[in-house]
Amino acid sequence: MNAVPPSSEPHVMPTYGRLPVALSHGQGCWVWDTTGRRLLDGLGGIAVNTLGHNHPRLVPALQDQATKLIHCSNYYQMPLQEQLAARLCELSGLANVFFCNSGLEANEAALKIARKFGHDRGNASPEVLVFDGAFHGRSIATLSATANPKIHAGFEPLVPGFVRVPLNDIAAVEAAVAAHPDITAIFLETIQGEGGINPARIEFLQALRRLCDAHDLLLMLDEVQCGIGRTGRWFAHQWAGIQPDVMPLAKGLGSGVPIGAVVCGPRAAGVLKAGNHGTTFGGNPLAMRAGIETLKIMQEDGLLANAEAVGATLRGALTEGLAGVAGVVEIRGQGLMLGVELDRAAGPLLTQCLEAGLLISVTAERVVRLLPPLILTHDEAREIAARLVPLVKALLAQPLPSKP
């Protein structure tokens, strides 16, 4: 199988390298394509379909909301916004929430908070410390915070005001803060997703929290991909026993309905005031109902514990199946956010897995990324490994391509 030629979708802007499949419907962790073929969803819409597909309690709730209000504008009070915001604050221990439509928008809002936080303290040119391997979005500001030159290419000049250092290197962070007195915030993904499933170490996160407190900086943790229960805690940073000042969320919060959120602690909660930021669609009643029901179902069904336990089964099956295989660099991640790094480009596995009835992703060129729904069962986790492992072995059995 090869990527679908652009001519097959002549009226759609060719911004995606699509695979040759069109999905028709889904049930649980399985989807069907338009030919009737059944596929196991190991990607979850890139960490979006928290509750899988056609969930028996989410779908009726969305149908009910659609009969009442889908959208009504932020000119008016939004009781559902307050309900979801209160729950997010309860789960995170933070203070207030701004709602938007996507992870990109949540990260963009976080960057505005960082700049306004600096200006409010008399800093005319605030800077944000970011990290190698980061991915925060594709707007001009968020791609400037992102560390991928391929994403930058063609969109220069980048937005100034970013200082970049290696992940998990606290000495480099301390040196950068000392050398750049205009730094007002430290911004990172708790677990880098697009960068290759690279976790920030617990002791690194704890050291960042202490550093931010000592220098009156904002600690901004991007939990767009790793948050909402994916690692076995509501938010991945909770494994380190810390709280951020700013936490962008999106993806899994709405179980497929577009939603973004920026959750702020006391240091950042009052930075944005009326007129400083806004959105037309953000926080609309349908998205809020999706978020409320998602969190409720996750709580009632014990999906955090399921993500941790089933994630351990999946990781164990991958570790056992790939033990001793030359070319497997590392299996890493947490809960149901796992990556298998290879010593070569993993792109061929996309179509090979599709042919084997499995949906996956490849990121950072060499990392197989797995982000299945949090309702995944132990048997389905073992089935993912059973379909993936032979294909990885076959790829790695081929001679390593020579470097140009």
* Binding-site residue set for pyridoxal 5'-phosphate: 135, 222-225, 280
Question: What are the binding residues for N(2)-acetyl-L-ornithine?
Answer: 138, 279
Token pair listed for 268: 């950042």
Alpha-carbon span 365 to 341, nearest angstrom: 9
Nearest-angstrom CA–CA distance, 112 and 94: 19
Task: Tell me whether strands 96-100 and 162-165 are parallel, antiparallel or unpaired.
Answer: unpaired
Dihedral angle of Cα 48, 54, 55, 58, to the nearest 10 degrees: 80
Give the active site residue among 131, 135, 162, 187.
135
Give the helix/strand (H/E) hosting 116: helix 103-120
Asked if 234 and 228 touch (Cβ cutoff 8 Å), the reply is yes
Extract the annotated binding site: 135, 138, 222-225, 279-280
Q: What are phi and psi of 357, to 5 degrees?
A: 80, 35
Q: How many other CB atoms are there within 10 angstroms of residue 238's CB atom?
A: 18
- Sign of the CA dihedral running 130, 135, 136, 139: positive
CA-closest candidate to residue 102, choices 216, 208, 253: 253
Q: Which of 41, 162, 187, 222 is catalytic?
A: 222
Closest CA to 136 of 177, 50, 194, 97: 194
Name the 3-class secondary structure at 152. Answer: helix
Residue 222 bears catalytic tag: yes
CA distance 69 to 56: 21
Residue of 117, 162, 245, 251 marked catalytic: 251
Number of H helices, E strands in the chain: 12, 17
- Token pair recorded at residue 163: 């200082």
Residues forming the active site? 135, 222, 251
